């Protein structure tokens, strides 16, 4: 029964992983307001106020592409590792374990599962930090992709716990 529930949670976590990668992870809003006359304002006899607003949303693959375009290869690869490779590998290994029952597969999936919360932390913090380094006035907001990805992490951890072999040594 526990393994059946684990399989359902594992499948649900896979859906959340895909949604977390597809939907926007973060939205950044740039809001710059400049007041002052300067040369043009004094020419027209009044002050000119300029306002610039831009809102940009990124999902994880888009953020990686932006980092690669700015030649930040190491960080882009870290995001790919923690947000795509590790979660996918952990899910595949857990599915293999479910049908194969080899405790070595479970132990390895459990080991890489320890990096699961690092996925969410690293991706969110690194994207926000790097994007803010390119701008002066910026606000960042977590979007639905972040919550889908977090749901993946939580459900995947629970599924792995439910599928734990009886004789497993940790």
Question: Model confidence over 61-108: pLDDT tens digits?
Answer: 998 898 899 999 998 888 888 888 888 888 888 888 877 777 778 788
pTM: 0.72
Task: Delimit the domains of the chain by residue range.
Answer: 2-29+57-162
Axis crossing angle, helix 116-133 with helix 60-69, rounded to the nearest 10: 50
- In which element (H, E) is residue 52 found? strand 48-58
Question: Model confidence over 24-59: pLDDT tens digits?
Answer: 988 877 777 665 555 444 444 444 455 667 888 888
Q: How far is CA 159 from CA 4, 6, 50, 128, 138, in A?
A: 9, 4, 53, 30, 38
């Amino acid at each position: 029964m526990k393994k059946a529930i684990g399989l359902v949670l594992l499948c649900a976590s896979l859906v959340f992983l895909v949604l977390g990668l597809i939907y926007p992870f973060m939205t950044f809003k740039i809001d710059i307001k400049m007041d002052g006359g300067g040369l043009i304002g004094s020419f027209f006899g009044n002050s000119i106020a300029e306002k610039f607003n831009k809102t940009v949303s990124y999902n994880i693959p888009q953020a990686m592409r932006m980092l690669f375009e700015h030649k930040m290869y190491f960080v882009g690869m870290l995001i790919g590792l923690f947000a795509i490779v590790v979660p996918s590998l952990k899910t595949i290994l857990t599915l293999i374990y479910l049908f194969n029952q080899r405790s070595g597969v479970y132990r390895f999936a459990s080991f890489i599962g320890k990096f699961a919360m690092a996925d969410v932390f690293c991706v969110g913090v690194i994207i926000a930090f790097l994007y803010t380094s390119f701008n002066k006035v910026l606000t960042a907001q977590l979007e639905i992709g972040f919550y889908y990805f977090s749901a993946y992490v939580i459900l995947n951890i629970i599924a792995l716990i439910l599928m734990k072999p009886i004789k497993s040594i940790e």
